[in-house]
Structure 1
Amino acid sequence: MDEMERVWLVERTYSDDEQNLIILTYATMDGRYEFRKERAVTSFSGSERETSASLLVEQDNLALVDEKTRKQYADEVTRMKEKHDPDDAI
């Protein structure tokens, strides 16, 4: 089994290719790695698919973040941790 890593929501964007898709980007504490999750916009209308402030993901599912973005992600993780518990729905 892969080791798990805690990641925090740092960005929500609409997909350029799909108008009905939102990309949720989560990052590690240091902003060095990211995990992306795609969701249909229609899935946000019900509470059964809430967006969590934080997730535990397998390390193999993390992608390296470019150096230019790392500080931005690390700063956003710090902000999210100060305002939310890991299991908070946001």
Structure 2
Amino acid sequence: MTDGDSSASDAADADTVRAWLVERSYDDRNLITLVYATPDGERALRKEIAATVMHQRGTRITAAIDADPTQLAPVDGEERERYATEAARMRDRYDPDEEV
């Protein structure tokens, strides 16, 4: 678990932005959709992974990722507040590289 130090937990280096897992969903095609958002909820990255590929490759889903800022899309409206709330919850409960 993290100590809540946002300076250490919000960025890995100057070229990346720390984004926290705020949403995970599965569909009827066995596709996993992950959404990682910045702590303020203003930008997010959506990733889609086939569950079978994920298991074959041993892909881990972690509490946070260090993303290229150019891959983050703006978040609008109510989702922004929800993402910020969920990012704070994840940051308080998990280390960034902890599997969730």
Normalization by structure 2: what TM-score?
A: 0.78
Per-residue CA deviations over 1:39-71 (Å, capped at 9, x if unaligned) read 112234468211011000110000001122111
Post-superposition, which runs of at least 4 consecutive aligned residues in structure 1 deviate over 3 A?
Answer: 43-47
SS in 1 for 2:29: coil
Q: Which residue does the alignment assign to 2:23?
A: 11
Is 1:62–2:72 an aligned residue pair?
A: yes
Please show how residues 70-89 of structure 1 align to structure 2 within 5 Å: 70-89=80-99
SS in 1 for 2:91: helix
- Partner Cα separation in structure 2 for residue 32 and residue 13 of structure 1: 20
Question: What's the Cα RMSD here?
Answer: 1.9
- Structure with the higher fraction of residues in strand conformation: 1
Identity %: 40
Give the aligned residue type for 2:68.
E
SS in 2 for 1:85: coil
| Equivalent of residue 42 in structure 2, options 3, 28, 32 | 32
Any stretches of 5+ residues in structure 1 without a counterpart?
Answer: none
